[in-house]
């Protein structure tokens, strides 16, 4: 009986050992698989973190580049704004000067018109008085002469009112007919000139003029003037814009005015006060006729 129990225990013990070992192996395999999955997930997580970090860095770099570009644009806009303010100030200042000159010209024109009207009124009164007291043919002829002179003076005044004045108050002729009007006044001498071609110095009165270039679209010319061995360069001279210069020992300036600008050629006149009049060269005199 005892032997039978001992055999049963041995059989049971052997049976129990046979299933524990496979279970342990299976659990070990499961643990290894779990560790492998965990390591794989950890590697993927690290890779994901690195990818995210790279993307964040790329975004930061792009944002920084955009910020730098924006700063540069803001700086350029500020500089452009500053330049525009400066140009606006210059234009405003010039406009004020132009308005002042225009106001002065209008005032002078009104004064000249008023003086002419007063003269005509006074002469008309004088004419009527003479006609009332004298009726001879000679008296009528004298009155007609005075009326003709008034008409001539009035025509001259109308021409004056249509002409612009320089900053020194002199009338500026714009063409040959207006030059003749000014010449008949007898206050100044006028020498008309024409220069064709660049770098060809030409003697005009007491000044030598050399044309350096023209801009037909903007009606501007570049000149070099030589007055008494002194050379001066004048750039962007506009038409009908007097260029003033003085000779030694004179108190009134001479005026050089360009009336017309073409391709590498200009024409205009030189205005000389009677007090400054000097003998001129034959070439200059012929150009003034």
Separation CA 43–CA 239 (nearest Å): 85
* CATH number, residue 238: 2.60.98
Residue 198 located in a structural domain: yes
64 occurs within a structural domain: no
Q: What pLDDT does residue 279 have?
A: 42
DSSP, res 274: G
Higher pLDDT, 132 or 13: 132
**pLDDT on residue 54:** 87
Helix (H) or strand (E) holding 217: none
Per the structure, the count of domains in the chain is: 1
Q: How far apart are alpha carbons 168 and 253 in whole angstroms?
A: 9
Could you tell me where the beta strands, DSSP code E, fall in the chain?
A: 164-165, 171-172, 188-196, 202-204, 207-215, 220-227, 230-238, 243-245, 254-262, 265-273
Min mean pLDDT across 94-98, 157-161, 255-259 is at 157-161
pTM (global) more than 0.85: no
> Is position 257 within any domain?
yes
Q: Quickly count helices (H) and strands (E) in the chain.
A: 4, 10
Maximum average pLDDT range among 67-81, 86-100, 269-283: 67-81
Find, among 188, 289, 161, the residue nearest to 242 by Cα.
Answer: 188
- Domain span holding position 208: 188-288
Which residue, chain included where needed, has tokens 């005009």? 204
Query: Would residue 50 count as lying in a domain?
Result: no
Local confidence band at 220 (pLDDT 50, 70, 90 cut-offs): very high
pLDDT of residue 103: 76
Residue 252 has pLDDT above 50, yes or no: yes
Handedness of CA 247, 249, 253, 254 (dihedral sign): negative
- Residues in Cβ contact with 210 at an 8 Å cutoff, skipping those fewer than 6 apart: 199, 200, 201, 202, 223, 224, 225, 226
pLDDT at 90 exceeding the cut of 70: yes
Q: CA 275 to CA 243: how far, in whole Å?
A: 19
171 vs 207, more confident = 207
Among the ranges given (114-118, 212-216, 231-235), the one the predictor scored with the smallest mean pLDDT: 114-118
Q: How many CB atoms lie within 10 A of CB 165?
A: 16
Residue 152 lies in a domain: no
Residue 271 banded pLDDT, cuts 50, 70, 90:
very high
pLDDT per residue as tens digits for the range 117-157 = 777 777 767 766 766 665 555 655 665 666 566 556 645 65
pLDDT for 208: 92
Tell whether the model's pLDDT for residue 5 goes beyond 60. no
- Tens of pLDDT, residue by residue over 17-66, are 677 778 888 888 888 888 888 888 888 888 888 888 888 888 888 888 88
Residue 242 has pLDDT above 60, yes or no: yes
């Amino acid at each position: 009986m005892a032997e039978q129990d001992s055999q049963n225990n041995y059989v049971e013990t052997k049976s129990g050992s046979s299933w524990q070992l496979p279970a342990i192996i299976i659990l070990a395999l499961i643990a290894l698989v779990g560790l492998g999955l965990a390591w794989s997930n950890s590697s993927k997580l690290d890779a994901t973190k690195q990818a995210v970090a790279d993307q964040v860095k790329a975004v930061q770099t792009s944002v920084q580049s955009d910020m730098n570009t924006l700063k540069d644009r803001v700086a350029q806009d500020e500089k452009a704004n500053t330049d525009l303010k400066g140009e606006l100030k210059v234009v405003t200042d010039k406009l004020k000067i132009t308005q002042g000159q225009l106001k002065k010209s209008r005032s002078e024109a009104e004064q000249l018109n008023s003086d002419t009207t007063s003269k005509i009124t006074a002469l008309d009164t004088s004419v009527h008085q003479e006609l009332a007291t004298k009726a001879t043919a000679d008296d009528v002829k004298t009155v007609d002469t005075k009326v003709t002179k008034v008409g001539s003076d009035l025509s001259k005044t109308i021409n004056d009112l249509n002409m612009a004045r320089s900053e020194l108050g002199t009338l500026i002729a714009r063409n040959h007919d207006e030059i003749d009007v000014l010449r008949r006044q007898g206050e100044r001498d006028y020498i008309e000139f024409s220069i064709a071609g660049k770098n060809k110095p030409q003697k005009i009165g007491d000044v030598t003029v050399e044309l350096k270039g023209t801009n037909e679209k903007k009606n501007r010319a570049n000149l070099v003037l030589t007055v008494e061995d002194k050379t001066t360069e004048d750039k962007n001279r506009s038409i009908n814009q007097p260029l003033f210069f003085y000779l030694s020992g004179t108190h009134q300036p001479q005026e050089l005015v360009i009336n017309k600008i073409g391709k590498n050629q200009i024409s205009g006149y030189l205005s000389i006060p009677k007090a400054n009049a000097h003998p001129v060269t034959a070439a200059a005199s012929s150009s003034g006729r």
